[in-house]
Amino acid sequence: MTRQEAATIFERIATLLELKGENPFKTRAYRTGAEIVESFSGDIMQLAADNQLAGIKGLGEALRDKLHEMATTGRLEFYEKLKKEFPETLFELFDIQGLGPKKVAALHAKLGVSSVADLKRVCADGSAADLSGFGDKTVAKILDSIAFHEAHASEFRLDQVHPVVLAILEALRDHPNASRVEVCGSFRRGKETVHDLDFLVATRQPEKVIEAFVKLPQVVDVIAHGPTKASVHVGQGIQCDLRAVSTAEFPFAFMYFTGSKEHNVAIRGRALEHGLSLNEYGFTATKAGVEIPQVHDERELYRALGLDYIEPELRENIGEIDAAERGQLPRLVELENLRGVFHNHTTASDGKASLEEMAEAAQELGFQYLGIADHSKSSFQANGLDEKRLLAQLDEIQALNAGFDGFRIFAGSEVDILKDGSLDFPDEILARLDYVVASVHNVFNLPEAEMTRRLLKAIENPHVTMIGHLTGRLLLQRPGYAVNVPAILDAAAETGTIIELNASAWRLDLDWRWWKLAREKGVKCSINPDAHSIHGLKDVIFGIRAARKGWLRREDVINTLPLAEMEKFLAARRR
């Protein structure tokens, strides 16, 4: 079990105890426990497995035992029993945006709401609007959230599926009869959300590997089980498919199951022009005299059709095949190219780790610089800094920097863009920072023209280095606000303002679909983890995938610059 899963279980226990009317101290202990599990700097699940949790502040014996149980057995008896006291459908409510535990508790206690269907009913018949703490506006918002949620049912974000992918690959690769195991499908293509996970194994003993797959400890139920393929559900309801093929078929199946379907159709059409029929098992000649090319890997498969190798992220049939034919595919940015990261939070605002801890973690990841950008004062819900605290942080950063060799913290701020496009700090304050991320955090419901003007005004402020999460979307939770992205990109190109690719699996904003256009306009990207803990820094892996999917090269991504060049770049911008 991952730490995120364990933290979610603690969080849910807290809510369920609240619904039962248990005493607040007990519920608070679980909430605190959830936070500790999420943000603890060491490998807390390993410590839990080894019974080494004693002495962690805020984690009492009862919670330590439960964590041990989760780390060693992958489940928690107490939680399973507690869950059974409630209808299963109640848990759907936790996925509705804007419906915190307090509202769920009120709806459940006062109106007997135990499912999304119940919730829709009490919203429609007016009884929800009569509850204290609710009103017509809240109800309208809840109905919007339900509609959005239903439109995205059975999709998952990368933070949800990434640990599953790693665990299943590792388990299958351990199998003595598996000679090669890969993940395919939308996950391999770097999509921002996926419906299901597709695994592929090369083996001479398909039955044995398939048998082992359906018996993995993560598997909750088996949907289908045949001699060469199986489908299962793992925790959180994620479907995983596995296909077994021979080594000779592997490259064909690897390409086929990576997709996209549109890419496959186009490639198959191209094969036919070469007198070859292509499917997931191989080539066959469609007319006499056509020689079947030898193919040992995907690269040779593309080569056989006169194409350069097409990276999986690009396989969406949006021009990659033409570019491959003309030898004009971009050389895509890689994780190893990143030299540092901007837009990170500390305990000064809503982060879980201190400046020192964040700096240490950044150095451990091999970064040469770490940009700190805590929230500004208008983001009071995130404990945003006022001028005084910001300047104190600046001093603290300078003191820390004096002790580093080959590493530097850049002092910044994630300054709120206010409703009228002005910034939350005056220019004199911004001028003292190394860089500034400007972001919208409230009043999302402006008409497109007004929201665009608001952002343009921020872009035109010379102190603004980059714009954070441009559309404000939260994947599978809320759509982005209305904004004219091309107009923003034009202004960014003109002013040299960088656009963030927020790497949090919740955001991946600006979306990959815009980056080809951004690149053509000459806009630079910064891949920013928006880390709120030391673990959050690793979210750059999601951002890199999105950047690659957006055709971005190393030179399009500003934070591939080494420290000395980055210092020069920032200094030049401040002039």
Residues that bind Zn ion (CB under 5 A): 439
Partner whose binding site includes residue 261, from ligand DGT, Ca ion, Zn ion, none (CB under 5 to 8 Å by kind): ligand DGT
Report the b/e string of 482-498 with b at 16+ CB within 10 A. Answer: ebebeebbebbbeeebb
Cβ proximity to Ca ion, 315 vs 377, nearer residue = 315
CA-based angle 92:94:96, to the nearest 5?
85
Quick one: which segment of 115-123, 195-203, 345-353, 464-472 binds ligand DGT (CB under 6 A)? 195-203
Nearest residue to 514 via CA among 478, 552, 554, 545? 552
Of 494, 474, 476, nearest in space to 486 by CA: 494
For Ca ion, give the closer residue by CB, 33 or 185. Answer: 185
Q: Report the partner that residue 298 touches, choosing among Ca ion, ligand DGT, Zn ion, none (CB closer than 5 to 8 A by kind).
A: none
> At residue 442, what is the residue type?
N
Is 198 an interacting residue with respect to Ca ion (CB under 5 A)? yes
Q: Where are the alpha helices (DSSP H) in 40-114?
A: 44-49, 61-73, 77-84, 101-111
Instruction: Report the residue from 241, 311, 424, 539 that binds Ca ion according to the rule CB under 5 A.
Output: 241
The secondary element (H helix, E strand) that includes residue 408 is: strand 408-416
Q: Which range in 15-23, 82-90, 190-198, 463-471 contacts Ca ion by CB under 5 A?
A: 190-198
By CB under 6 A, tell whether 260 contacts ligand DGT.
Answer: yes
Whole-number minimum distance, CB 480 to ligand DGT, in Å? 20
Which residue's Cβ lies closest to ligand DGT?
259
Residue 256 touches ligand DGT, criterion: CB under 6 A: yes
Q: How far apart are CA 320 and CA 174, in angstroms?
A: 35
Binding to ligand DGT by residue 251, rule CB under 6 A? no
Residue 257's binding partner out of ligand DGT, Ca ion, Zn ion, none, with CB under 5 to 8 Å set by partner kind: ligand DGT
| Residue 469 C-beta: closest distance to Zn ion, Å | 6
Give the CA dihedral 337, 338, 339, 341, nearest 10 degrees. 170
Q: Which of 254, 257, 283, 425 binds ligand DGT (CB under 6 A)?
A: 257
d(CA 320, CA 531): 33
In the block, tokens 């070859």 appear at 276
Q: Is 562 exposed, middle or buried (0-12, 13-18, 19+ CB in 10 A)?
A: exposed
Asked if 144 is part of the footprint of Ca ion (rule: CB under 5 A), the reply reads: no
Tokens 């009043």 found at:
443
Out of 22, 35, 196, 325, the residue judged to bind ligand DGT by CB under 6 A? 196
Least separation, in Å, of the C-beta of 187 and Zn ion?
26
Q: Give the binding-site size for ligand DGT (rule: CB under 6 A).
A: 14
> Using the rule CB under 5 A, is 280 a contact of Ca ion?
no
CB of 195 to ligand DGT, least distance (A): 3
Q: How far apart are CA 372 and CA 345, in angstroms?
A: 6
Q: Where are the beta strands (DSSP E) in 178-265?
A: 178-183, 193-194, 196-203, 219-225, 229-234, 238-245
Find which of Ca ion, Zn ion, ligand DGT, none residue 536 binds, CB within 5 to 8 Å per kind: none
**Torsion from C-alpha of 193, 33, 2, 102, nearest 10 degrees:** -30
Task: State which residue, 183 or 295, has the beta carbon closest to ligand DGT.
Answer: 183
Rank residues 191 and 441 by Cβ distance to ligand DGT and give the closer one.
191
Q: Do the Cβ atoms of 177 and 208 come closer than 8 Å?
A: yes
Identity of the residue, 252 or 514, whose beta carbon is nearer to Ca ion in the bound complex: 252
Task: Give contact residues for ligand DGT (rule: CB under 6 A).
Answer: 185-186, 191, 194-196, 198, 256-257, 259-261, 264-265
